Amino acid sequence: MDWPGRFNDCSNNRLEDSEIAAIMRVAAADNALSLAAGEPFGALYPVGPLQESFSKVLSSDLPIWGYSNTRAGVTGLRRWIREWMRRDGLVPEWVASENIFITNGSQEGLSLLSECFLDPGATILVESPSYPEALGVFRKFGAKCLGVSLLPDGPDLEAMETMLAGQRIKLFYTIPTFQNPTGYTTSDEKKRRILDLAKKHDFLIVEDDPYRNLSFEGSPEGTYLHAAGDDKRVIYLGSFSKIIAPGLRCGWVVAPGEVTEKLIKLRVMGTLCLPELLQNAILDFVAGIDLPRHLKTLSDTYRRHRDALSSSLREHACPEGLEITAPGGGFFLWGRVPWIRNMTEFAYFAIRNEKVAIIPGNIFFPESGQGVDTIRLSFSKVIPAMAEEGAKRLGEALRKFRILQQERKPE
């Protein structure tokens, strides 16, 4: 059977393997200590309260067994999200529950928005580096991703203005708060200036904000969505994955009504609807807990993990050339090793030789050949005892890899 000849152009030419997943598979097979997993710490999953919420919904008379009549998501959950975001000052006045669209994780939101807005050949602007699984979605729909350099306070505005002067941009994709992979946060001042550029050059902004509630040092900066006010060119993505549990696969989109109407049509043509059992259980959970206390527990725990890994790395790995920056929230440390010229090669070397897993930073850049000396380290699942051992292994891997590199040099 000639399967390649039967696949369409997208399946043959525009689908990408997840390099992160590939490294994670090798790390698991080698039983490596992981400084790579960008996912929540399992001990923080609120299993007991979630079980109670699911039991309550299962015992109720709610219509959870048939097809959902609310294709945008359970109305009560959408109202709760709107009120939560309003209290936190994240949304402008025009946002109502009708502007909230529940998704199967924010990844589905990215896919639906791409299907809604991107034609093959469209050019979009992304942060460089950025989340590779988002870049893969955009490329699946035929988009060309142009990277604008990301600085600690947000995108390089001069570079962005130069790029906008030369071509038509459909949208700008950004993770503005404790970004994956850098941990950087875009300042409110830069958000305002980028919104001015969006008006001038007439492009949309897709604001992906899953790490907002994991702040270690006070309240994070505001949202593009709120700053835009009545200029409805910002579409916001939120997620419960990082603050409840990723296995729930529940996120949301905030968008103008014209956009949510299209998203509903795309859903009907795809998955029909999402399970109401899940959404009602999440609603019961979030409405019944002390949410600020829950979020503080998460932030306090991840801050301790960050501090432990940062301190251990400075003791054991930085003497071997690692340079790191510690974020104010989220899951990730971003760094570089200036003498390394192929971080992907080093990543597999570290797994095989020292049983420690990292993610090479070059896979986060939209253009090949960039970030070859950069590295992403995740502290989210790394307890202090693991941090010490992981940093020692990483330092030893760097020492041995440097020797290997020196031996390869021609005499």
State the CB neighbour count (10 A cutoff) for residue 382: 26
Rounded to two decimals, what is the model's pTM? 0.95
> CATH for 47-289?
3.40.640.10
Residue 166: per-residue pLDDT: 82
Q: What span, in angstroms and rounded, lies between the C-alpha atoms of 130 and 196?
A: 22
- Structural element, H or E, at residue 60: none
Q: Provide mean pLDDT across the span 389-398.
A: 98
Read off the pLDDT of residues 375-391 as tens digits, 9 standing for 90 and up: 999 999 999 989 999 99
Read off the pLDDT of residues 358-372 as tens digits, 9 standing for 90 and up: 999 999 999 999 999
Read off the pLDDT of residues 79-96 as tens digits, 9 standing for 90 and up: 999 999 999 999 999 999
State the CB neighbour count (10 A cutoff) for residue 128: 20
Residue 148: per-residue pLDDT: 97
Band the pLDDT of 233: cuts 50, 70, 90.
very high
Residue 410: per-residue pLDDT: 63
Closest CA to 213 of 291, 271, 156: 291
Please state the domain extents for the chain: 3-45+293-408, 47-289
40: preceding bond cis by omega (within 30 degrees): no
Residue 406: per-residue pLDDT: 85
Q: What span, in angstroms and rounded, lies between the C-alpha atoms of 411 and 175?
A: 46
316: helix, strand or coil: helix
Domains 3-45+293-408 and 47-289 share a fold: no
Q: Read off the tokens for 77.
A: 């959950």
> CATH for 3-45+293-408?
3.90.1150.10
